[in-house]
Amino acid sequence: MNIEELSKSQLILLTILVNFVMSVATGILTVSLLDQAPPFVTQTVNHVVERTIETVAKAAPAAIIQAPAPSNQDLVMAAIGADATRTVTIYSAKTGTSTLAISIGTYLPKARAIATAAQDALPKEVLIGFPGNIYIAASLAHQGEGIAIYGFADSAVLPKTSSPTLRTASELKLGETVLALSADGSAATGIVARVGKSGIHTTLPDIGAGSAAVDLSGNLVGIGAGITPGLLISADIITTLLTATSTTATSTAAH
């Protein structure tokens, strides 16, 4: 058969066949030559092959198979879980746990402080109940604009947990998801409806005075005011109080 009479498809198949035969022949010839070559030549070839493989591997993507991004449900569960580890109960130091808790607060590990909504019934000396039946005495360090801050003595050994970032009201977005644990321990979800001078208005139900509201990353958005359902006292106020009392909170909390 004349090669000029072959079609394009036949020519392509013929080229593939020739390349395949040449590859096999080259492989057989290379193996034969390596078997007959001195040891140092074989070692050099193997070293070149190994280095080539390492170079290609480093140039490849670091992770070909990436883990799936967390779902919205995963984020909600993680944020609620983080909030739960920082939720504390506040008891009067005079009566201790023999009476009901007088309020709920949020533990701020980095500041060694408890933030809650200021109420007339809050005493200066309290007993803070942490998750795991851990109780530590604390003293009122400062209060203002609806927030009360309790501090601990320097010698107090506090539980270790993640410290939340305090979100500023100005960076909150309308429609942003907010999560909270109410006074009875039930979880609630809502969105930011409005941010104004009176506070952060959300669609959360009445979560109780002192309960914390967090975003999907577990960062603190605000504290339940306990006046109007869904109304939060901005975390900005907590930041201001902590900054103002950072040099005096320790002495105030000393027993």
Residue-wise pLDDT tens digits, 13-37: 667 766 766 776 666 656 565 566 5
94 alpha-carbon distance from chain centroid: 37
- The pLDDT value recorded for residue 148 is 95
Tell me the pLDDT band of 66, cut-offs 50, 70 and 90: low
Task: Determine what percent of the chain is predicted with pLDDT higher than 90.
Answer: 59
- Pairwise CA distance, residues 81 & 70, whole Å: 15
Task: Report the 3 state secondary structure along the chain.
Answer: CCHHHCCHHHHHHHHHHHHHHHHHHHHHHHHHHHHHCCHHHHHHHHHHHHHHHHHHHHHCCCCCCCCCCCCHHHHHHHHHHHHHHHEEEEEECCCHHHCCCCEEEEEEHHHCEEEEECCCCCCCEEEEEECCCEEEEEEEEEEECCEEEEECCCCCCCCCCCCCCECCHHHCCCCCEEEEECCCCCEEEEEEEEEECCEEEECCCCCCCCCEEECCCCCEEEEECCCCCCEEEEHHHHHHHHHHCCCCHHHHHCC
10 Å CB burial of residue 69 (0-12, 13-18, 19+) is exposed
Q: What is the CATH number of domain 169-239?
A: 2.40.10.10
| Helix 39-59, helix 8-36: angle, nearest 10 | 130
Q: Cβ neighbours of residue 127 under 8 Å, at least 6 residues apart?
A: 90, 91, 92, 93, 96, 97, 135, 136, 137, 138
Give just the sign of the alpha carbon dihedral 171, 230, 182, 151: positive
Task: Report how far residue 182's alpha carbon sits from residue 206's, in angstroms, rounded to the nearest whole number.
Answer: 7
pTM over the 0.95 mark: no
pLDDT at 57 over 70: no
Per-residue model confidence as pLDDT tens digits over 161-198:
999 999 999 999 999 999 999 888 899 999 999 999 89
What does the pLDDT read at residue 27? 62
pLDDT tens for each residue of 107-123: 999 999 999 999 887 89
Name residues whose C-beta falls within 8 Å of residue 233's C-beta, 6 or more positions apart in sequence.
117, 145, 146, 147, 199, 200, 222, 223, 224, 225
What pLDDT, on the 0 to 100 scale, is given for residue 69? 80
pLDDT at 143 exceeding the cut of 70:
yes
- Where do the structural domains in the chain lie, given as residue ranges? 9-59, 86-163+240-253, 169-239
Average pLDDT, the chain: 83
CATH topology of domain 86-163+240-253: Thrombin, subunit H (2.40.10)
Mean of the pLDDT values across residues 135-142? 95
Question: What does the pLDDT read at residue 40?
Answer: 55
Token match 């809502």: residue? Answer: 190
